[in-house]
Structures are given as structure tokens and as C-alpha cells.
Amino acid sequence: MKKQDEIRQRVSRDYAAAVNDTGGCCGGQSASKAAVSCLAGYTQDDLEALPADAVVNAFGCGNPVAFSGIAKGDVVLDLGSGAGIDILLAAKKVGPGGRVIGVDMTREMIDKAAENVRAAGLDNVELRQGIIEELPVQDASVDWVISNCVINLSPEKERVFREIARVLKPGGRMLVSDIVAEELPEAVRRNAALYSSCLGGAISEKDYVRGLQAAGLGEVEVKDRLVYEASQLADLSGDVPESSACCCGGQAGEADAKALARNLAGKVWSAQFYARKPLA
């Protein structure tokens, strides 16, 4: 099995465990749900209008729907749609004349999102299982691509950027919230748990912008940034010691997480990336 496939399988297992509340790594224990919801930038009105299960199982780092120009009748694609918080918000924006497609590689996430779509009474949402490096979506078929703290988890980000360019209609736009980082220690990059908690796989903001431009997207810019303080990074890294391959409890793990957070303070942030596919 290729290393990239091993990473995808591990991330998928971690998030399946998190959404099922089995105490699995990352996304659940590492990136605590309460902390991530606090950071995500959703208004109280946003959250109260959604099924509680979609909110509880949100693992984002920003709210791409709120700051996009998604309009009635648009076709929206959510990369790594998870339990569905952003597809539900987007579905309300596009209305009955529009359509929202959610793609996720984890079966448990697809099933959870389907439950939440039914609970919200929406019939303009379609869920597809697949990887974001090879989207099960037709060429030039969507008006907007959104994603919330997912592309950093991909071991092949250049492929993801090319796929975004492929599926967007000419003139179509993307708005992606994601975590970026500068000068990550190699021990962080090698740590499986920290990878799944959106730290280990993060690239720099400059590399992110260059990747989107290299894929053929234009008007690339960073719309917003939230630089994480040590306390916020401790929430993301949870109680995962650097030597661990899974989420370990105990005071030693908490101490390691706090030390790691102090070392990374100011070097990790969430950013909102905007880009547009040229008309020709």
C-alpha cells in the first residue's frame, strides 16, 4: 500500500472513531469538539437552525459558507463534508433551485451527514463517498467549492488543488478554511495523531497560495486569518505526547501537549483562501 493511502486510511479511521464517540484519536479527543466549535466562527443563529448532531460533530476551523457569495440556484461542492454542518448551511442558501454535493471518504461521516440532512428536511443535498484527490464530480459542474479544515489532512494537496480547478465552472469560485503552519518540527509531522488533528499535515500559507495558482486558479488571496495562541493549540493537540501514535490520557500527555502548544504559538493559524477559475 502506498504511503498516501495509508495516511488516508488512518485519518478516516480516526474520524470514524470520533464521530462514533468511541474515544478514538484526534478529531474527537485531540481536537475537542467544544474548542473547535468555538473557533469555527459560526453564529448562534447558524447553530440553532441546525440539527444538534451536526453541530456536535463539527471539526472545522472556519465558516466558509458565511463569507462566501453563495446565491440562490448555485451548485456547491463541499470537500470533506463530514457530519454536514456546512452542507446544511449551504443548502439553505442555494434554495430549492440549487444543489449541494458533499464528498467525504469516511462511510461513517456520510451516514451521519445523511441523518442530519433528513433531520433538516432538505432535498437539495447529495452525498458521495470518495477522496478529495479524485472527486466523484463532473468537470466544470459547480459554482462554488467550499471546505472546512480538510485539505490539510490530504497527503497529496497538489492533486486536490487540481481537482478544485477541474470541477469548477469557468468563473466558478472557491472559499476554503484551513489550517496552515510555519516551521513545524519534524516530530510533529511524523506524529500520526497530530496529523489527524490538523497539525502534522499543515503546509505554509505561501505554499497553499502557490499550489492553487499552479493548479490554474486565479485571483488567489487570503481573506482572513486567525493566529492560534498556545491555549488554542493545546485544544487542537489535546493530550497527545509527541512520541505517541494515538490519543493517550494522563498528566504526562497533557504536559507534553502544553509544551508543544507553547513552542508552536504564533506559527499555526487558520486562513480563508479564495480563488476563481478563469473564464477562458
Digit-coded pLDDT (tens) for 174-204 = 999 999 999 888 888 888 888 888 888 999 9
Q: What is the mean pLDDT of each run of 10 residues along the chain (280 residues)?
A: 87 82 42 43 60 54 70 96 90 96 95 93 96 98 95 96 98 95 88 86 96 98 90 66 35 64 87 94
Taking only the tens place, the pLDDT of each residue in 109-125 is 999 999 999 999 999 99
Helices H / strands E in the chain, number of each: 12, 7
pLDDT score for 19: 73
Which among 211, 225, 144 is positioned nearest to 179, based on CA atoms? 225
How far apart are alpha carbons 219 and 62 in whole angstroms? 20
Distance (Å, rounded) from C-alpha 125 to C-alpha 96? 10
Q: Which domains does the chain have, with CATH numbers?
A: 3-183+198-227+267-276 (3.40.50.150)
CA-closest candidate to residue 6, choices 257, 245, 253, 270: 245
Q: What pLDDT does 63 receive?
A: 64
